Amino acid sequence: MRIGLLLLALCLADSSAGQTATRGARAAALGGAAAALANERWGESNPAAWAHAGAPSLSLHAVQLYGLDELRHAAALAVLPLAGGGAAMGVGTFGFDLYRETALTLGYARKVRPRTHRPILVGARLRWHLVRIRSYGSASVSGLSAGIVFPVEPGFSLGATAANLLVGPGPLRSELPRLASLGAAYSVGRRFLVSVEIGKDVRRPGTVRIGTEFRPVDAVALRCGMTTDPPTGAVGAGLDLGRLTADVATERHLVLGWTPSLSVHVTW
Amino acid sequence: MFAPIFIVLIVTVGPTVDTLEVDHDRERLAEEMIEAGEDPSALEEELQERAAWRIDLNTATEEAVRSLPGITPAEAAAVLAFRRRGGRFRSDADLRKAGLRSDAVTAIQPYIRFSPKPRRMQLEFVQRWTRTLDPGRGYGRDTTGTRYLGSPDGLSTRLRLQIGKRLTLGGTLDKDPGEPIEWPISYERPGFDFAAGYAAVEEVGVIGQAVLGDFSVDLAGGLLLGHGRMRASSIRATHARVRLRPHSSSREHGFFRGVGVATRAWRGWSAVGFLSRRFLDGRVEAPSWRLSASGLHRTQTELDGRRAIRESVLGAGLSYRRSFVEGALIMVEAGYETPSSLPLRRRRSVSGSMTVSRGPFRLALEAARREDAPAVAASLHLDPAPFTRVWLRALDSFDGALAAHTYAGVDGTGQTRRETSREAGVRIRPAENAAATLSSRWQRRPSSSSLPLWTRHVSAFVDVRAGAWLHVHLRVSERRTEEDGACMYGGRTLRCAVSSLRRGLRLQAEYAHSRTLRIRLRIETTHYRKRTKVARGMLMFQDIRWEPTPALRIDARLLIFGADDYGARLYAVENDLLYTFAAPALAGRGMRRYILARITPRPDLSVQIKYGLTSYQDVRTVGSGLDEAPGRQMRALRVQLRLRLGSE
């Protein structure tokens, strides 16, 4: 059983499902369609979102893939505002005693105004992965991801990201997923948001992600989303109390089952 | 080792026309040509040359105005009439005043300028160096058997000198990767593998145009309604007469070598004559013979086929233009023989054509004959209602008929082919910022052709603009072909027709965030079916163009592709160096990235550097044959310097 879970962990580490584990509960509830969201705090879907950091923040995230204790992921991310943008530092861990993956993240994003008053957000993320398999040893690899968000009009934005655009040398070099995503997000007033994203992993077919968010009141958000590959549906909710924000989500894979996740953000 | 690079800097005047400009017709046309086995690089090169050598609309010759891509003959006549009335073009507003549509003004913008006075002399010098950073096994020292004779560097040197409006001199030296540079130079091998040159004059006395050296011939409406695939596109060159085009490209085929003369119009009449004699690459194994269009001489086998066949061409034509009627009669005789004068083939082609243009209506008819093979063609362009354009075309001909970019009278295999085709299309512009186009093309070829027996291609596309900053393009296409194949019947392999189906969907958005930053995003899928095999492909790319300073422009692309097999392949036209064209066919799974920088430190000096990398998943080697290289990636570096000097 544990060997099977080890194999599953290895497979998940080398697939887009690995992204499910790291992207934050809000993005998870939106089906992963967060590439064009400039206010996505976790920044996993698009590191350019860190450029909106107005105050220092600490984010914590936990997810349990398919309800299995052995496939838990936990991460912490601190974002510090800098002149014109923000810097991010984080750490995450995934797996169990037979298989443990640890990741360290450094990121930077800023707003730029290329000869116009309208800014664009650009960001980059450097992540170092260390994989340790009991009785086999360990290996590491680093990857550089980048993203850009264009706030085209108030309420409408386009986003593009490339995950692991550049990958460092090492035996795990070919194991990191390499993805490109194009997204668009449209807000109807302050209450309703639709986000669409199309992504392509080099090794997998293309995927379409759609997410919607509804805020009946400012402090509460209700979300749902879907992804075509892997075939997944998701629902979630968020509570925004100013300095404290909490998001929960649960995703259901057509075959593998439910994946609950929780994210908490604290700003000061 | 290769000869020292002659670094020449050329001043770039104005923005370069490239694929990030909104010009889906060019991309679509290029991709259709590639699918049909044709080479779009000549078309692209011509358009880039026109953009690099913009004509002054106030002083250009009548033929130069008529040949602007993207305007109708009626609009060209309106421009000339405006000039004759004493009007002067100072801006785009004057073009609209003269009667041009908005989209026609946009279409010709890259090719025109409004200068206060003509330049006395202009010199352009281009030096290009390319190198693949992952050379194939053909370059290996320990490779047994065939290997390339030269280095993996490609070199190209181009010179053009224009003196006033009338005299132009030009020359090109080219070496492809793998070809050797030989010394001492001789007529047959001028150091570089390929050399071309010309001297051309325009509008001197009765001579409208004369070229000595290398040139190609644009036949307007003759020999089956002109050349190439430009006939039904909005970027179609609107030549009204036969036009001689000096050849300065590094393409080693599709041009003549000799002399050509076209007279000026006299009471509507003009004449043209050309004579060419040159050696072509090929292989003669009596009784069959075959021409080669690659121009590659990298191995001893390829060198053995160099200059194997001699082509002699004599052409003459008479044309008449008056008011809204144009007519032309053209005769071309082409002969092929070995250098020892062993005859291989002789062909005479004659064609008579007539074009009637009246307001929104343009009808062209042509009857032609080659030996005992008749051919007819007709083409109709019509604007039946405001913002609506319809075109129809029917062709029943011998293929390979003096197309300006192939051999005279025959195709690359030395054969003539019949072709029957029908084409229809409609473009509707319901609003100023929206257009929809539906086009259909059906084509049949004989079974001896290496191309499909018949092809039906239907495509529909929609363009919507939101202001000047957002352009969304959607294209749906379907291509059905039937080609020669082998089928199993009753345990035996028999020859049969095999059909295939290829469907494509493309969604593209171009967003201009500011004058210095633009992006283009594309998602494209293909679905391919042949017999029981089904294959799918998907492509996604992000393009960015950023001009942080007027002296620096950066184009970058990240593209991810995945195609189950070659049938589901995808094409993505790329920004490239000036006068070059790149549209890689993407099959397998991988990623392509490139970055292209254009640096203009001075107005007369431009440097372009392009680094491209294609990486594949789950492969051990990349490429095939002598270009096969170990590993999963293929990288290339291309550098071009351009110097342009001009004096008033």
Q: Give yes or no for residue A234 having a pLDDT over 80.
A: yes
∠ Cα B565 B567 B568 (to 5°): 75
Determine the average pLDDT of the residues in A173-202. Answer: 90
How far is residue B265's CA from residue B189's CA, in Å, rounded to a whole number?
Answer: 40
How far is residue B218's CA from residue B67's CA, in Å, rounded to a whole number?
Answer: 10
Which three-class secondary structure state does DSSP give residue B280?
strand
The whole-number pLDDT of residue B578 equals: 87
Radius of gyration of chain A (CA): 17
How far is residue B265's CA from residue B296's CA, in Å, rounded to a whole number?
Answer: 41
Q: Which residues of A touch B474 (CB under 8 A)?
A: none
Q: Which residues of B touch A115 (CB under 8 A)?
A: 514-517
Which three-class secondary structure state does DSSP give residue B617?
coil
Q: Which residue has the higher pLDDT, B143 or B560?
A: B560
pLDDT one-digit tens code per residue, A49-106: 999 888 899 999 999 988 888 889 999 999 999 888 899 999 999 988 889 999 999 9
* Cβ separation B589–A200 shorter than 8 A: no
Determine the average pLDDT of the residues in A21-39. Answer: 90
Cis check for the bond before B184: say yes or no (omega within 30 of 0): yes
Which three-class secondary structure state does DSSP give residue B109?
helix
* Cβ separation B517–A158 shorter than 8 A: no
Which three-class secondary structure state does DSSP give residue A17?
helix
Nearest to B562 among A115, A148, A205 (CB): A205
Give A 107-146 residues with CB within 8 A of chain B: 114-116, 118, 120
Q: Can you spell out the DSSP letters for B69-115?
A: TT--HHHHHHHHHHHHTT----SHHHHHHHT--HHHHHHHGGGEE--
Determine the average pLDDT of the residues in B139-158. Answer: 82
Q: Which two tokens stand for residue B248?
A: 């300065």
Q: Give yes or no for residue B282 having a pLDDT over 90.
A: no
pLDDT one-digit tens code per residue, B514-544: 888 999 999 999 999 998 889 999 999 999 9
Under the banding of pLDDT at 50, 70 and 90, the label for residue A229 is: confident
* Cβ separation B542–A179 shorter than 8 A: no
Indicate the average pLDDT of chain B. 80
Determine the average pLDDT of the residues in B44-59. Answer: 79
Under the banding of pLDDT at 50, 70 and 90, the label for residue B84 is: confident
pLDDT one-digit tens code per residue, B427-460: 888 887 888 989 898 888 765 555 567 889 898 9
* Cβ separation B558–A162 shorter than 8 A: yes
Nearest alpha carbon to residue B507 among B531, B540, B484: B540
Which three-class secondary structure state does DSSP give residue A25?
helix
Nearest to B591 among A115, A160, A202 (CB): A202
* Cβ separation A203–B617 shorter than 8 A: yes
Nearest alpha carbon to residue B252 among B216, B218, B276, B223: B216
Distance to chain B for A237, nearest Cα, Å: 31
Q: Which two tokens stand for residue B371?
A: 């030996």
A180 touches chain B (CB under 8 A): yes
Q: Give yes or no for residue A126 having a pLDDT over 70.
A: yes
Under the banding of pLDDT at 50, 70 and 90, the label for residue A32 is: very high
Say which residues have a Cβ less than 8 Å from residue B446's Cβ, sequence separation at least 6: B417, B418, B453
The whole-number pLDDT of residue B581 equals: 82
* Cβ separation A198–B548 shorter than 8 A: no
* Cβ separation B560–A202 shorter than 8 A: yes
Indicate the residue type of B362.
R
The whole-number pLDDT of residue B86 equals: 86
Radius of gyration of chain B (CA): 24
The whole-number pLDDT of residue B448 equals: 55
A231 touches chain B (CB under 8 A): no
Q: Can you spell out the DSSP letters for B224-241?
A: HHSSTTGGGSTT-----S
**CA-to-CA separations, A68 to A253, A259, B420, B523, in angstroms, rounded:** 13, 9, 65, 36
Q: Which residues of B touch A152 (CB under 8 A)?
A: 469-470, 511, 513
The whole-number pLDDT of residue B201 equals: 92
Q: Which residue has the higher pLDDT, B316 or B295?
A: B316
A205 touches chain B (CB under 8 A): yes
The whole-number pLDDT of residue B36 equals: 64
The whole-number pLDDT of residue B8 equals: 25
Q: Which residue has the higher pLDDT, B83 or B36?
A: B83
The whole-number pLDDT of residue B219 equals: 64
Distance to chain B for A89, nearest Cα, Å: 26
The whole-number pLDDT of residue A11 equals: 56
Under the banding of pLDDT at 50, 70 and 90, the label for residue B184 is: low
Judge residue B579's burial from the number of C-beta atoms within 10 Å of its C-beta, 0-12 exposed, 13-18 middle, 19 or more buried: buried
How many beta-carbon pairs below 8 A join chains A and B? 79
The Cβ of residue B288 has, within 10 Å, a number of other Cβ atoms equal to 11
Q: Which residue has the higher pLDDT, A37 or A7?
A: A37
* Cβ separation A160–B617 shorter than 8 A: no
How far is residue A236's CA from residue A219's CA, in Å, rounded to a whole number?
Answer: 14
Over pLDDT 90: what percentage of chain A?
58
B472 touches chain A (CB under 8 A): no
A204 touches chain B (CB under 8 A): yes
The Cβ of residue B589 has, within 10 Å, a number of other Cβ atoms equal to 22
Nearest alpha carbon to residue A109 among A171, A15, A170, A39: A39
Q: Is ipTM strictly over 0.90?
A: no
Q: Give yes or no for residue A1 having a pLDDT over 80.
A: no
The whole-number pLDDT of residue B398 equals: 62
A196 touches chain B (CB under 8 A): no
The whole-number pLDDT of residue B22 equals: 33
The whole-number pLDDT of residue B361 equals: 81
The whole-number pLDDT of residue B9 equals: 21
Element (H, E) at B80: helix B73-84
Q: What are phi and psi of B316, to 5 degrees?
A: -150, 150
Nearest to A115 among B514, B521, B589 (CB): B514
Indicate the residue type of B549.
T
Q: Which two tokens stand for residue A229?
A: 């590959």
Q: Give yes or no for residue B7 having a pLDDT over 50.
A: no
Q: Which two tokens stand for residue B348?
A: 């005479």
How far is residue B224's CA from residue B72's CA, in Å, rounded to a whole number?
Answer: 19
Whose structure tokens read 């509570």? A239
Whose structure tokens read 């099977």? A4
DSSP state of B220: T
Q: Which residue has the higher pLDDT, B127 or B364?
A: B127
Q: Give yes or no for residue A2 having a pLDDT over 80.
A: no
Under the banding of pLDDT at 50, 70 and 90, the label for residue B21 is: very low
Determine the average pLDDT of the residues in A203-223. Answer: 93
Indicate the average pLDDT of chain A. 88
List strand residue ranges (DSSP E) for B298-360, in order: 309-322, 325-337, 343-358
The whole-number pLDDT of residue B402 equals: 44
B300 touches chain A (CB under 8 A): no
Q: Give yes or no for residue B232 having a pLDDT over 60.
A: no
Left if phi > 0, otherwise alpha if psi is -120 to 50, otherwise beta: which for B579? Answer: left
Determine the average pLDDT of the residues in B115-119. Answer: 65
Nearest to A200 among B517, B540, B548 (CB): B540
